[in-house]
Amino acid sequence: MAHVLVVTLNPALDLSIQLPRLEPGAVNRTRSSHLAAAGKGLNVAQVLVSLGHRVTLSGFLGADNDTAFVQACRRDGIEDASLRLPGETRINAKLAEDDGRVTDINGPGIEVSEAALAELTADLVARCKATSPAAVVVTGSLPPGATPEALAALIRALKASGVPVWIDTSGPALTAALAVLPDAAKPNEQELADWAGGPLTDPAAQLDAVRRLHASGVEEAILSLGGDGVLWVSRRGEWRATPPRVEVRNTVGAGDTLLAALLHGVIADQSPQEALRQATALAAEAVRHIGVGNPHAGDFQELLQQTSVSRCGEARVGGNA
């Protein structure tokens, strides 16, 4: 299908641990553990590839322990264009309990210099001009040395190349990113509440905040509500999706799955109902296991049928739905 450039500034090796229940201060016995290349960027790239797209993954990697990432990209058919820096990529521990609760213990990441950021920015802009990808996805946290202002400058440079920019980050990085108006953003409820300046106490408040985000200039305003579904406001209208009920095993990767699948729907020019239904169902498929959603799961058609999508109304800006 299309070519997508995915950028992850602070990737990680994920140590995923499944256990019945975490007992702090005690000896805990695990059911399983798995160490693998991970991070939001790799998650997004894997979903996009599974949906038929050609993906280039860029960002920063520690040169001393990049083998898992090299192998993951080769296995999944992802072009590896990450800039190698001296040192090691961080290791994050993710403790998943039987009740669905996940505890993340994340490392800070490898130190990034201004020179490295400038080199990466120049390379990304050159790739955009040379290959005209359908979109650039900038996702994940910021490593030490990369400021929110630096992220905003990167997004501004990518936008200037004429390629749509989708972002998924949090905290001050999200605030800085939203200030330069990316084409799409996917905050969760707390992140959007922080941006909106107050709690989103009911569905009406949630919809109003997403409308405001869209009205500010973010074309694809997406609110992820976990098990309560998704709100999406764009020029296509205002839509709410409710996912099917599934057994939640691990929520890590569900948000990345949602973002990637919705981007797929936009690139493929699907109807908003079809795009949001597929993205929501695929995110629900993801929470049933460790990893991202699998569009080839045997019961995926059933999950699609069990996913409800309804129209909330007309978007206030951005043209006709």
As annotated, the active-site residues are: 256
Q: Could you list the beta-strand ranges (E) of the chain.
A: 3-8, 12-19, 32-38, 54-62, 79-80, 83-85, 91-97, 102-105, 135-139, 165-168, 184-185, 220-224, 230-234, 237-242, 308-313
DSSP state, residue 313: E
Contact of 11 with 85, CB cutoff 8 Å: no
Which tokens hold the place of 42? 């790799």
Question: What is the three-class DSSP state of 239?
Answer: strand
Question: What is the three-class DSSP state of 309?
Answer: strand
Smallest Cα–Cα separation from 102: which of 249, 231, 2, 273? 249
133-146 as b/e: b if 16+ CB within 10 A: bbbbbbbbbbbebb
Q: How far apart are CA 259 and CA 278, in angstroms?
A: 11
Which tokens hold the place of 237? 């209208």
Contact of 94 with 43, CB cutoff 8 Å: no
DSSP state, residue 225: -
Amino acid at 113: S
Smallest Cα–Cα separation from 92: which of 80, 81, 105? 105
